[in-house]
Homo-oligomer: A and B are copies of this chain.
């Protein structure tokens, strides 16, 4: 596995591979890798001739009171895991390479970024879209792979790619879960054993709502209230949102329609967790 730090080196490698007829897949990550990330690399290996992961903890997507400084950095373990997953190249830029002094061009993210994460984390999607577009320019891959756990992020990036005609295909991959259903997340390692026990409450609430929909309940007000009640019973320490939305526009729904998705963001202790489940049943 080749580790590259220099943007122009990775660009040349990718450009010449593509001219040689190779299909190149990209998996952008912030490191602290878990089985969810590795499933993206496996998917990239399946679809492409060359799989490239990037590891970069993007300061611009964290708010001032968020966990940027304490976000887990586990580079050695990340590289080992990528090696084992047969990732071909890893791009590990420095913060100075990605955000040098004086950088002042950002993206104004699409409308689909306004609600939910976008509202609770102002500036988050501005940071996400900007860094992802920078990576797409540095690594002109054919396909990029993102996890559905960050559901709104995928919707925002799809809109960005479409609106700006970025020549890349996005593939969203299923969320990988622990045995009990908790969605894999780099932030799960913040959870104390008790908090870890409570954390499965997101998955239970999502499954409950899905089963109600399967039983024929399409009334969003009732479904959201049931989800909320289950979360309060866990108990979780804060509910940022527990909503049923259109899975393309991220707009609230009053009635479950095809493409509907249940989305949840809560705090358990000081750890903020998000999860979602398609209701398109």
Which residues on the B side are within 8 Å of A140 (C-beta)?
Answer: 140, 167
Q: Nearest-CB distance from A2 to chain B (Å)?
A: 20
Q: A35 at the A/B interface (Cβ < 8 Å)?
A: no
Contact pick for A108, options B19, B107, B134, B164, CB 8 Å = B107
Q: Which of A74-126 contact B (CB under 8 A)?
A: 102-112, 126
How many copies of this chain?
Answer: 2
Which residues on the B side are within 8 Å of A215 (C-beta)?
Answer: none
A-side interface residues, number (CB < 8 Å): 30
Q: A61 at the A/B interface (Cβ < 8 Å)?
A: no
Q: A138 at the A/B interface (Cβ < 8 Å)?
A: yes
Q: Nearest-CB distance from A111 to chain B (Å)?
A: 4
Which residues on the B side are within 8 Å of A134 (C-beta)?
Answer: 164-165
Q: Known contacts being A134-B164, A137-B165, is A106 close to B104, with CB within 8 Å? A: no
Contact pick for A163, options B19, B103, B110, CB 8 Å = B103
User: Complex formed: what's the CA distance from A166 to B130 in Å?
Assistant: 12
Contact pick for A19, options B7, B19, B160, CB 8 Å = B19
User: Complex formed: what's the CA distance from A141 to B205 in Å?
Assistant: 50
Which residues on the B side are within 8 Å of A11 (C-beta)?
Answer: 167
Q: A133 at the A/B interface (Cβ < 8 Å)?
A: yes
Contact pick for A105, options B102, B129, B167, CB 8 Å = B129
Q: A159 at the A/B interface (Cβ < 8 Å)?
A: yes
By the criterion CB–CB under 8 Å, are B163 and A104 in contact?
A: yes
User: Complex formed: what's the CA distance from A108 to B107 in Å?
Assistant: 5
Among A18, A111, A165, A167, max chain B CB count under 10 A is at A165
**Nearest neighbor of A163 in chain B, beta-carbon distance:** B105
